[in-house]
Amino acid sequence: MDYDFSKPHEECGVFGVYSPDGALNPAYATYNGLLALQHRGQESCGIAVNNNGVISCYKEMGLVTEAFDDKILNSLVGQISVGHVRYSTAGASARENSQPLVMRYIKGTLAIAHNGNLSNAYELRHELEHRGCIFQTTVDSEVIAYMIARERVEASSIEEAVCRAMPKVHGSYSMIVMSPQKLIAARDPNGFRPLCIGKVENTYVIASETCALDACGADFVRDVEPGEVVVVDADGLRSIMLPVQTKKSLCVFEYIYFARTDSMVDGISVYEARKEAGRLLARQHPVEADMVIGVPESGVDAAIGYSEESGIPFQKGIMKNGYIGRTFIKPDQAARERSVRIKLNSIVSAVKGKRVVMLDDSIVRGTTCAHIVSMLKDAGAKEVHLRISSPPFLWPCYFGTDIPSKDDLIACHHTVEEIGKMSFADSIEFLSLENLPKMLGTNGALGHYCDACFSGNYPAPIPTHSLASKENKYCEPIRKD
């Protein structure tokens, strides 16, 4: 299977349930939660369920609906569960790298689901291997599991072990840890990745996004704070705040592309943020046109905002095939180009003879935009003006987004004018870096986000090595651009 590399990808989504009184069936609730988080990863998925201290787990490659059925879910009986959907940024696409990871050690059993990238995973793994540890995967999540297990030997509880391990692991992580008696959630001190808490009666739910809470009928309680450890057990929910002084740095691309439109992330509506980006673009780069369209899905929200601000009517000009995911077989370059029309197709009657403003969320390599613009012009569009609701990608990301180097970033090698010509657009403009915080309102004004992929201003130390590349070359160095 080949991946659609026209967009950045996020590493994964996590979900957990603590339901001692059966208000939710943990396995089925986790299944529904993972379906809602499927946009965060389509390589593999898994669910681990704890039945009075005995943890059973099922993991498989592919989509949630392909991996699970009633027979499997009915076999996963228990009171606590943790689930995961994965897209690999660190570690090869292989079944052994799927999560949750279930580990048996001297203090019992734990399961872990992790979203993010550790910037010091290589160094920690090197140290652990020289102490005799044997690794079964190439993912940094296993490094976290080892660190927690090692701390648990001397710690009085699993939550104390998590708190003692967190200062030793650097980078981004929103994770859920399941022990025989407890469900624990932790978010790195920068808060790079989202994590939230929901509740149904006496049942607590932890999820990457609020849309997953909605999917299982849980009411939103609050977000897990950066540097916070949340413990759910027989006594209910309690919080432990690590004594760290770090600036909150949520990945701004969660609002631009990663998160689902109906989610609230750290108190901000993803839908409203995307619409505001469109409004900002309309004020920043107006153009005379007959209609505004959006590239499904995240580009549509920005297009609505552009239309509202500019007064140009919003219409549906592109149809998306909702029955294929982000992965499909593409044996050669010609097939890759044709695959755009498998996923997206123009609505001829809507765009023919029209001057079109097309909103998209980002440009990475530039090839997909060129295909879509050509598709619209083949359908009879008189003009196509491309507006991008994010600044140009100029820097690699080391905190969970699949942008490992500058090599494939078109904006690193071409001017905006050149990108426009390569995209066959009549004009092209990006949201300015100065306007980016305005889409987030108060949080943007306070600078509570990470925009390093656009600005190069990294809020935390970056790694010198990765655990594995896409080709599974163990310990491949990362270039420091």
Identify the pLDDT of residue 77. Answer: 97
* Segments of the chain with pLDDT less than 70: 1-11, 88-94, 324-339, 341, 404, 445, 465-481
Q: What is the pLDDT of residue 93?
A: 56
User: CA nearest 38: which of 17, 12, 60?
Assistant: 12
Residue 339: the pLDDT is 65
Query: What is the domain partition of the chain in residue ranges?
Result: 2-246, 268-444
Whether 12 is catalytic is: yes
The separation between CA 290 and the C-alpha centre of its own chain, rounded to angstroms, equals 35
User: Given 12, 196, 211, 216, which residue is catalytic?
Assistant: 12
Quick check: 83 and 18 in contact, CB under 8 A? no
CATH 3.40.50.2020 corresponds to the domain 268-444: yes
The chain-wide mean pLDDT, for the chain, equals 88
Q: SS3 letters for the chain?
A: CEECCCCCCECEEEEEEECCCCCCCHHHHHHHHHHHCHHHCCCEEEEEEEECCEEEEEEEECCHHHHCCHHHHHHCCCCEEEEEEECCCCCCCCHHHCCCEEEEECCEEEEEEEECCECCHHHHHHHHHHCCCCCCCCCHHHHHHHHHHHHHCCCCCHHHHHHHHHHHCCECCEEEEECCCCEEEEECCCCCCCCEEEEECCEEEEECCHHHHHHCCCEEEEECCCCEEEEEECCEEEEEECCCCCCCCEECHHHHHHCCCCCEECCEEHHHHHHHHHHHHHHHCCCCCCEEEECCCHHHHHHHHHHHHHCCCECCCEEECCCCCCEECCCCHHHHHHHHHHHEEECHHHHCCCEEEEEECCCCCCHHHHHHHHHHHHCCCCEEEEEECCCCCCCCCCCCECCCCCCCCHHHCCCHHHHHHHCCCCEEEECCCCCHHHHHCHHHHHCCEECHHHHCCCCCCCCCECCECCCCCECCECCCC
pLDDT tens for residues 103-113? 999 899 999 99
Superfamily designation of domain 2-246: Aminohydrolase, N-terminal nucleophile (Ntn) domain (3.60.20.10)
Q: Determine the pLDDT at residue 184.
A: 98
Q: Indicate the pTM of the whole model.
A: 0.90
**pLDDT tens, position by position, 73-111:** 999 999 999 999 998 654 455 677 899 999 999 899 999
Classify burial at 318, counting beta carbons within 10 Å of its beta carbon; exposed 0-12, middle 13-18, buried 19 or more.
buried
